[in-house]
Amino acid sequence: MGTHRLKGFTLIELLVAIVVLSIVLTLGVPAFTQFVQTNRMAAGVNDLVATMHAARTEAVKRKTLAGANASVSICASADWNTPAPSCDAAGNFRDGWITFADTNGDIVVDAGEQVLAIHGPVARALVLNTLDINGNPVGQQFFSFGASGFLRAAPAGQPVGNLQFCDDRGDHDAGGGLAAGRFVLISPTGRPQIFRMRADVQNPVLNPIGGC
């Protein structure tokens, strides 16, 4: 009868495999985590900025229909997914928002004013701080675009002009000078600009919120 040898790992081979696996996990998991965090940040910022572009375009387009009363507004909304969503005067964009034809420019969805788009909350890991277009504290988080496409004030106050998105990484270099957070500056003409580099996001001269 022949001799059968059982093949397997030696103790040394097993230890080497464990060491290699631990090195791979040590290097790979943090990189993957940062990849997920960066994509989550980009998604939240890009969604809100895309909404601004769409609302601004819609306001200009509606000028031919409503003349000077062509305002389109975006406001924070906690009930964005209900049949009749409304603006939340004390809300935050991170909880969701709506875009609507704000004929009288009062940042209230009045009877007959059409809700044009809705958006749910951004990732809960994101923190959003805002100042108005003059760099002052915001009473209500909203944007309102007139028929010219420019930002306009409302009875609720001045529109948001500065937005700072942060997550639990805080003031962190995500690689190549890229910030973990994002700063969005909206010009009086209604055009938003996203700042991604840490030197810009944390620059108190450019960013009155002061970064993350």
In a domain, 4, yes or no: no
**pLDDT digit string, tens, across residues 114-156:** 999 999 999 999 999 999 999 999 989 999 999 999 999 999 8
* CATH code assigned at 99: 3.55.40.10
Count of domains observed in the chain: 1
**pLDDT digit string, tens, across residues 10-62:** 667 566 656 555 565 455 546 778 888 999 999 999 999 999 999 999 999 88
Residue 166 lies in domain: 11-201
Give me 199's structure tokens. 């030197």
> What predicted TM-score, i.e. pTM, was given to this entire model?
0.83
The predicted model gives 180-206 an average pLDDT of 97
The residue type of 153 is A
Give me 170's structure tokens. 């805080």
| Those residues with Cβ within 8 angstroms of residue 118's Cβ, 6 or more apart along the chain or in another chain | 77, 80, 81, 85, 96, 97, 98, 99
pLDDT of residue 100: 97
In a domain, 209, yes or no: no
In a domain, 190, yes or no: yes
In a domain, 5, yes or no: no
Side-chain-facing half-sphere of 184: CA atoms under 13 Å: 25
Complete DSSP assignment for 40-59: HHHHHHHHHHHHHHHHHHHH
In a domain, 157, yes or no: yes
In a domain, 211, yes or no: no
